Amino acid sequence: MAKVLIAYYSRRGENYVNGSIRSLSKGNTEVVAEKIKALIPQADLFHIDTVRQYSPSYMTCIEEAKQELRSNARPEMKEKLSNPEQYDTIILGYPNWWGTMPMVCYTFLESFDTSGKTIIPFCTNEGSGMGSSERAIRQLCPKAEIKKGISIHGAEAASSDREASLIASMTK
Ligand SMILES: Cc1cc2nc3c(=O)[nH]c(=O)nc-3n(C[C@H](O)[C@H](O)[C@H](O)COP(=O)(O)O)c2cc1C
């Protein structure tokens, strides 16, 4: 059976939840990634993280993220994925930041050869859905098969069992 990787970026701290700012001890995307991992125990879980941490303040973080998007930045990853060639399928989870993925997900997808791999994107968000992230993934991974992404309302991450099952079933 294909070896599956669940790679995700997620940020703890203040976030915008159902119209107000709340501090999250665990990020929404991380909550969903862990649900998927529980359904595919043989999959590896990889936390995409940045060397430079974003501000825990929501208002500061959105400005930092806007600057990175504008400058098409490639934030440095804390840790690189080891032995990427062993994975046939990559479930890639991220929050919607300004209509696309956080720029470190661009760094991640450029850090190894994705040719021939299947990528299953999922995105937690406060209403913008997948935004343009699927197009960005197609551009970054022209030789990969990109499945239609699954959008999850961030505030409902804790009850996203149906979506997590759907994502897990797409790996078969
Ligand atoms: C920098 C930043 C930008 C965001 N931009 C959007 C956006 O454009 N559209 C949207 O629906 N939600 C946006 N959000 C909300 C997040 O996508 C949402 O809260 C997500 O579930 C957070 O996931 P996380 O806790 O795993 O980081 C943004 C949040 C942050 C911090």
pLDDT mean for each 10 residues of the chain (172 residues): 90 91 94 98 98 96 98 98 97 98 98 98 97 98 98 97 98 88
Total tally of structural domains belonging to the chain: 1
pTM for the model: 0.98
Atom from ligand 1 closest to the CA of residue 61? 1
Contact between 32 and 120 under an 8 Å Cβ cutoff? The reply is: no
Residues in the chain: 172
pLDDT of residue 169: 97
Range of the domain at 97: 4-169
**CATH number for the domain harbouring residue 150:** 3.40.50.360
pLDDT of residue 172: 82
Report, in this order, helix, strand and coil percent for the chain, each rounded to 5. 35, 25, 40
pLDDT of residue 164: 98
- Atom 4, ligand 1: residue with shortest CA distance: 97
pLDDT of residue 16: 87
pLDDT of residue 154: 96
Query: How do beta strands 20-24 and 145-146 pair?
Result: unpaired
156 C-alpha to center of ligand 1: Å? 13
> From CA 148, how far away is CA 12, in angstroms rounded?
27
DSSP-assigned letter for residue 5: E
